[in-house]
Amino acid sequence: MTYLKSGCWFTASWIGLLLLASHASADDEPFRPEVGKFPPLKNAHAYRGELIFVDHANRRGSIRVAGTGKFYRNDPQPFAMLPYGVIRYHGAPAELRDIPLGTVMHVRAFLPPDPKLSTVPVLPVDNKDKDVGHYRGTGTAPAENHVLLFEDEPSHCLRERKVWKLQQVEIEGNVGKIIARREPRDGGEAEEPTEELTFDAATRIWRGRERIHVADLISEEAWPEAGKKQLEGQAVLLGITWKPASGDGLSGAFTQFHISDIWLDDEAIQQAAEFQKETHKSFVRSRWMPAWIDAVEYGKFGRATVTATLFGGMDASLYSDFREGIGAQMNGAENTLKHAAGHYGPGHMASDGKLLDVTRASGDVPLGSSGIQIRFETDLIIEGIRTGRVVRVRPEGWPKMQIPREEYLFNNSPEDRFPKPDIFPEY
Amino acid sequence: MTQLRFVRRLAVFFYGACLLTKLAIADEPFRPEPGEFPPLDKAHSYRGELVFVDHANRRGSIRIDGAGRFRFAGPSPFAMLPYGMIRYRGAPADLRDIPLGTVLHVKAFLPPDPLISSVPVLPLNNRLKKLGYAGTGVAPAENHVFLLEDDLSHSLRHQLIWELNEIDIRNFSGTLTATRKPESEQDKGAVVETATFSFDAATRIWRGRELLEVADLIGEDMWPVSGKREIDGQQVHLGLAWKPTPGGVFKRFHIVDIWLDRAALDRSTRRQKENHKDFIRSRWMPARVDTVEYGKFGTAKVTVTLFGGMDESLYADFKQGSGGMLAASENTLKHWASGTAGTAQMAGKGTLTEVRSAAENIPMGSSGIQVTLETDLVTEGFRPGRIVRIRPDTWPLVEVPREEYLHDAQTTHEDRFPTPDIFPSFQR
């Protein structure tokens, strides 16, 4: 009997351990993306924080990650965008340069695919589980600092079909607090906790194509001049930043985010998205579409046929410019998406050719990929167009432009191709 | 007769030499003296695109317009002087408020102390050098900035306005030709500058409370759907940035914002002003120590001059007899703290015993307001010539984020005086 009991316990513990292990491997285990594969979003580590520093030319920056402690104490954590990493701002594709410092971003990130080439510090794999002390709490310095998805609050809500439901405003002198909760847009159970957010006289409120201020809402009697008012779950989208919250470090709110923008209706957020979309379309047309090389078939005398997958996350109209039979250019790039151009410029250095095929994947397309594969034929293949490498592609309908000095490599020294993390201060 | 001619020639030569010397003085590189606010007219002026920002250390990089091929100009590092002023959308600003890509007007000097410069120290005559196709003056040694302002703030300060002359449009993008003129009636005819700018579907157009798109102006028949149209000098204010230009254009700035009327402009200015007021209240007013009179057992009277360029309402909060806090700072305007003990815990506390405002001749960089704080515990850092931050007790007590303070137990010389190592060296 004792033997049987012991056998049962042993089996039960094993089943328990297996369950725990399978749970851990699916959700919690650090995941390192493989070269040539778009990693699954579900394996990414998720966190959010305030954008502190941007080195847009190298697609990296720093973010103050919200943990379990006093937010203001958290050291800015360096991050690097994966070459196929997607950035979204105001519900539209964006670049790091488009996002104001201070914006609170939602992050989905992985371990560095190749730690030797990381442009940001490589941290211990279990760092996200560590309490870094000094009241900062756990999770403020994750090793998952290579970002697949970087999105601001309205982009996050639009992607997840959520809205903020305003419950109460408390105001005095155009400054105050709002109690609100992120909830499913189409109804259903709210799973997230209620948050208290600050606002002030600089908070922008967007209604249709109007930009109004807190003072305007007060004069319209939508909000009181002073005191509290119940807002009955008014559905809005919020732009969220961070400002130091009242308190001296011993008392006060440890993590309280700030509302920079309130979009009161669909027309207002659609207009914001439209401006950002047009900004980014113009950017990608001038810098070319990033892609990676799936295969190269070499011909004679420098000829080659190159198969590449265009990266995802851009406006659909940009992809529709890639059409079978049109002329195109393909240039070598790096993981930072910098052109390998030299002073002559990408238009001069790139391989010229023609798009033989443009095929679209029919099934599930992983985030990071557009699902569009092109076959490009050139009579002069250049270095850099090799399987697994990152390139930039321009269909002939896009304007030929020269890019600024910090966005291309000259002489291609290893330090320029693979920037070191030493620009980031240690705290 | 010959002797008279010789004397005349000598006099003319002398007069000419004097004029040239005067001219040369205006053009000579100028190094600010510690403890003095430098005269604005000695500053070297240039403009360019904001490319990089390290706001915690009040420095960044700017691509300077050298009348060459703009895109070839490598970003030139700059550092704000501790009393250097930043203006955006006609209101006080911090570097973090200015979007990358914005075209800025700069007034700058040589580094006051090259040994502790947080940006590269360059040869004095660098602004006269032609750097290949980038043009002349794209990397001046005058990289310590006294005044950094966007085009809108520059226009407002000089009371200038853009008059639109002609639009050429296709697919919601195109070019606008405009002339910058004085706003005043008496100088209205004078032309300061004529330029052609690009615009596109992302250009924001502000009218009263409204934010319009290019498509809206086309819909109202203000602009044509396609082709050219004379605009007959419509007066606007512009927000300028830079984007790569197609074809053989070496430099063309890009319009990101158009303010069609004063009401729209006032709304933008007000928003930036409120944003900055909140920022200063949480980070405290920067100032420079003029004198320290030491008393007994750690008491002292510290007299400081508040830096200029802030909203007037912030200065009005410094009232004689009210309480205040004074904290040591650095040229980067960073606070000092001690880990768990924040800035407020580390600051000297006391009473504002005097608040004096200068009536005239206030140099730029200074507010003209001198404040004396009497404290019973003077801390290190309150010494004549040093930078401090001061808070009247009506401002909220908050903790600044980690990158904005120096940790007194861990901070190294490199933290106090950041080295220029983070700036890449672009081969030309």
Contacts of A26 (CB under 8 A, 6+ apart): A42
Question: How many CB atoms lie under 10 A from the CB of residue A377?
Answer: 18
- Residues B27 and A48: their CA atoms lie apart, in Å, by 50
Q: Binning pLDDT at 50, 70 and 90, where does residue A252 land? A: low
Q: Is the pLDDT of residue A250 over 70?
A: no
Residue-level pLDDT at B188: 73
In chain B, domain spans? 40-150, 158-276, 284-416
Segment A131-154 shows an average pLDDT of 92
- Residues B216 and B218: their CA atoms lie apart, in Å, by 5
Q: Is the pLDDT of residue A404 over 70?
A: yes
Question: Of the candidates A225, A250, A281, which is a domain's last residue?
Answer: A281
A243 in the same domain as A136: no
Q: Which of B211, B220, B325, B391 to mutate to test the interface with A (most CBs of A within 10 A)?
A: B211
A399 in the same domain as A316: yes
Contact B345 A248 (CB under 8 A): yes
Residue scoring higher pLDDT (A241 or B359): A241
* Domain B284-416, CATH number (from 3.30.930, 1.10.10, 2.40.128, 2.40.30): 2.40.30
Residue A271: list chain B partners with CB under 8 A.
211, 213
Q: Which residue matches tokens 């609170």?
A: A104
Residue scoring higher pLDDT (A246 or B69): B69
Residue A28 structure tokens: 């919690």
Residue-level pLDDT at A212: 96
Segment A150-176 shows an average pLDDT of 97
Contact A72 B400 (CB under 8 A): yes
Query: The domain B40-150 belongs to what CATH superfamily?
Result: Copper binding periplasmic protein CusF (2.40.50.320)
Interface predicted TM-score of the whole assembly (ipTM), two decimals: 0.90
Of B56, B100, B396, the CB nearest to A56: B100
Lowest-confidence segment of A75-79, B212-216, B245-249 by average pLDDT: B245-249
Q: Which amino acid is at A296?
A: V
Is residue A229 in some structural domain? Answer: yes
DSSP B318: -
Question: Of the candidates A133, A157, A181, which is a domain's last residue?
Answer: A157
Of A72, A211, A282, the CB nearest to B202: A282
Q: Is the pLDDT of residue A1 over 50?
A: no
Comparing CA positions, the residue from A130, A131, A113, A132 lying closest to residue A122 is A113
- Residues A311 and A314: their CA atoms lie apart, in Å, by 8
Q: Which helix (H) or strand (E) holds A282?
A: helix A266-287
A196 in the same domain as A175: yes
CA B230 to chain centre: 35
Contacts of A321 (CB under 8 A, 6+ apart): A395, A397, A398
Which structural domain range is residue A376 located in?
Answer: 289-417
Give the pairing type, strands A390-395 and A289-298: antiparallel
A318 in the same domain as A240: no
A200 in the same domain as A167: yes
Lowest-confidence segment of A89-103, A292-306, B81-95, B243-257 by average pLDDT: B243-257
Is residue A323 in some structural domain? Answer: yes
Is residue A146 in some structural domain? Answer: yes
Residue-level pLDDT at A344: 84
Q: How far A309 CA lies from chain B's nearest CA (Å)? A: 26
Residue-level pLDDT at B13: 45
Of A72, A275, A406, the CB nearest to B75: A406
DSSP A26: I
Contact A352, A378 (CB under 8 A): yes
Residue positions counted in chain A: 427
Residue pLDDT, tens place only, B272-313: 999 999 999 999 999 999 999 999 999 999 999 999 999 999
Percent of chain B residues past pLDDT 70, beyond the cut: 93
Measure CA of the first residue to CA of the last residue in chain B; give whole Å.
59
Segment 52-71 of chain A within 8 Å of chain B by CB: 52-57, 64, 70
Q: Binning pLDDT at 50, 70 and 90, where does residue B231 land? A: very high
Q: Which amino acid is at A156?
A: H
Is residue A325 in some structural domain? Answer: yes
Contact A230, A168 (CB under 8 A): yes
Residue A134 contacts B where some CB pair is shorter than 8 Å: yes
User: Which chain A residue is nearest to residue B408, measuring alpha carbons?
Assistant: A427
Q: Is the pLDDT of residue A247 over 90?
A: no
Contact A64 B275 (CB under 8 A): no
pTM above 0.90, yes or no: yes
Is residue A96 in some structural domain? Answer: yes
CATH number of the domain enclosing A319: 2.40.30.170
Contact B200, B241 (CB under 8 A): no
Contact B278 A422 (CB under 8 A): no
A224 in the same domain as A184: yes
Rounded to 5°, the CA angle B36-B38-B40 comes to 155
CATH number of the domain enclosing A140: 2.40.50.320
Question: Of the candidates A157, A179, A207, which is a domain's last residue?
Answer: A157
Phi (first) and psi of residue A32, to 5 degrees = -110, 115
Contact B244 A404 (CB under 8 A): yes
Is residue A200 in some structural domain? Answer: yes
- Residues A109 and A105: their CA atoms lie apart, in Å, by 12
- Residues B336 and B328: their CA atoms lie apart, in Å, by 6
CA B354 to chain centre: 30
Is residue A8 in some structural domain? Answer: no
A367 in the same domain as A348: yes
Is residue A35 in some structural domain? Answer: no
Q: How many domains does chain A have?
A: 3
